[in-house]
Amino acid sequence: MRFVVVGGDAAGMSAASRAKRKMPQAEITVFEQGYDVSYSACGMPYTIAEPERSMQELVVREARAFREKQGLDVQLGCRVEGLDPAAGRIFGTTTEGATFEREYDRVLLATGASAVRPEVPGFDLPGVEVLKSLEHGRRIKDYLARNRVHRAILVGMGYISLEMAESLRELGIEVAMVKPRPELLPWMDRSLAEKVQEELEENGVELYPGRSIRRIESRGGQLHLVCDEGELSGEFILVGTGVQPNSQLAANAGLELGPSGAIDVDRHLQSSDSKIYAAGDCADAYHVVTGDKTWIPLALWANRSGRAAGDNACGGNVRVQGVAGTSVFRVLGLEVATTGINAEQALEHGFDPAVVSIESRSRAHAHPGAKTIRVSMIGDRSSGRLLGAQMVGREGVAHRINAAAVALHARMNVEAFSQTDLAYAPPFGPVWDPLLTAANQMVKKLET
């Protein structure tokens, strides 16, 4: 069995490792266009924030270890440029310009996603960066070490940008955040998003939403972000305006893409060609709430879908449930978490959404140090189902959201969720967990 993996990051290496365990005699080759495999991409903002730490610490396992300890053939600097399903063959070019090709019995596309760069002039100037790969992380860390950066401009206000805002503030750098759309965190309940906005402003982060960005210019030793509404200047610009799936290789080979442009895969991670699997950020997934296809490129799914694809490529029969859209991030002193869908998405998918927003506390009555936790919960009036939850608070948010995520996988209705026996002790929350308080409110709302 010849199993070829295209892309050596989370999904690709999870697949290769799993395949080798499942079928030790298989010939498994991983082609990675860069020189890093298996690293913690999500850790980059935190490592950038600490001058004494090296980006290299984020490498979980080096290619050599995969070769020597797991018997995987890992080829670095090898860009796969074509896939011939009829011949069962991939081909490409190395960094040095040599060509290569390989025949496969099964192939996994784990080509990931790329940062989107706005199509306006100046986004390729020195000091203008994106943060997607470890190589980007190294460039940014190096740039910040070598240049006197007093002020950074972050274009985009997604969670990578928000995490980087925290890191840059920790480095003592002034931060201005700019985005074309008028709302901060548009997917969030407004009352929760406002808390994030307040936290940013209280920590000296300047916010410029609703700006029409025209170009970046380099003048007088500074970078200038020119918008219709005026100009912002600094020594470093980070572009975090989203990512897109690297599905061109698949499209060129005639594979079907889903509505988000990611590679369309079934519950066994098989593409429209049964010998070709796809997993991670380049492929789509079922959403456990809507049942529809979605594309939410996040780390756990990359690892999980890669692992399942590696299993299935070697004769396994792992059927994946999909994603609930669970995520958490920290921004300065706040934990921000979400799972499921919001009211707008619920409407788009034919639900009749009801929303409740409540305030609760992170510790029990009279327990010192309690902080406010805000919960927004989304339920369906027709079926009573829980559709999603969002939380913001200074503590006790990151792991609490998981209770709602599991309920979404179980397709629980809000009434059943409101009856769950969640943990209570005074240092950790009120008797009625904030999620239960929200669920109790929602039960009442759905009854009327």
Instruction: Identify which of residues 141 and 211 has a Cβ nearer to a second copy in the complex.
Output: 141
Q: Is the dihedral of CA 394, 398, 402, 408 positive or negative?
A: positive
For residue 174, which phi and psi values (nearest 5 degrees)? -70, 145
CA distance 168 to 153: 10
Q: Which residue has the tokens 């991939």?
A: 90
Separation CA 445–CA 420 (nearest Å): 19
Q: What is the DSSP letter of 368?
A: T
**Amino acid at the residue 208:** Y
Contact range with a second copy by CB under 8 A, out of 1-9, 107-115, 276-284, 298-306: 298-306
Site residues for a second copy, 427-446, by CB under 8 A, read 427-429, 431-433, 435-436
- Is 78 annotated as catalytic? no
For a second copy, the closer CB: 113 or 404? 404
Residue 96's Cβ-count burial label (10 Å; 0-12, 13-18, 19+) is: exposed
- CA–CA separation, 438 and 358 (whole Å): 6
Toward a second copy, which CB reaches closer, 85 or 322? 322
- Nearer residue to a second copy within complex by CB, 89 or 367: 367
**Residues in contact with a second copy, shown as a per-residue x/- string from 37 to 56 under the rule CB under 8 A:** ---x-xx--xx--x------
The answer to whether 117 contacts a second copy (rule: CB under 8 A) is no
**The binder of a second copy chosen from 102, 195, 224, 400 (CB under 8 A):** 400
Q: Which of 298, 343, 349, 383 binds a second copy (CB under 8 A)?
A: 298
Q: Which residues pair with 227 in a beta bridge?
A: 213, 230
Distance of CA 30 to the CA centre of its chain: 23
- Round to whole Å and give the CA distance between 126 and 237: 9
Cβ of residue 33: shortest distance to a second copy, in angstroms? 22
CB 365 within 8 A of CB 345: no
**Which of 16, 18, 43, 237 is closest to 125 using CA atoms?**
237
- Only segment of 106-114, 187-195, 222-230, 398-406 that touches a second copy (CB under 8 A): 398-406
Which of 122, 310, 325, 388 forms a contact with a second copy (CB under 8 A)? 325
Q: How far is the CB of 323 from a second copy (least distance, A)?
A: 5
> Quick check: 330 binds a second copy (CB under 8 A)?
yes
Mask for 364-393, x = binds a second copy (CB under 8 A):
xxxxx-------------------------
Of the two residues 58 and 249, which places its CB atom closer to a second copy in the complex? 58
Number of continuous H segments (helices) and E segments (strands) in the chain: 12, 25
Q: What are the residue numbers of the active site?
A: 42
Residues that bind a second copy (CB under 8 A): 10, 40, 42-43, 46-47, 50, 57-58, 60, 288, 298-301, 303-304, 320-330, 335, 337, 339, 364-368, 396, 398-410, 412, 416-417, 419-429, 431-433, 435-436
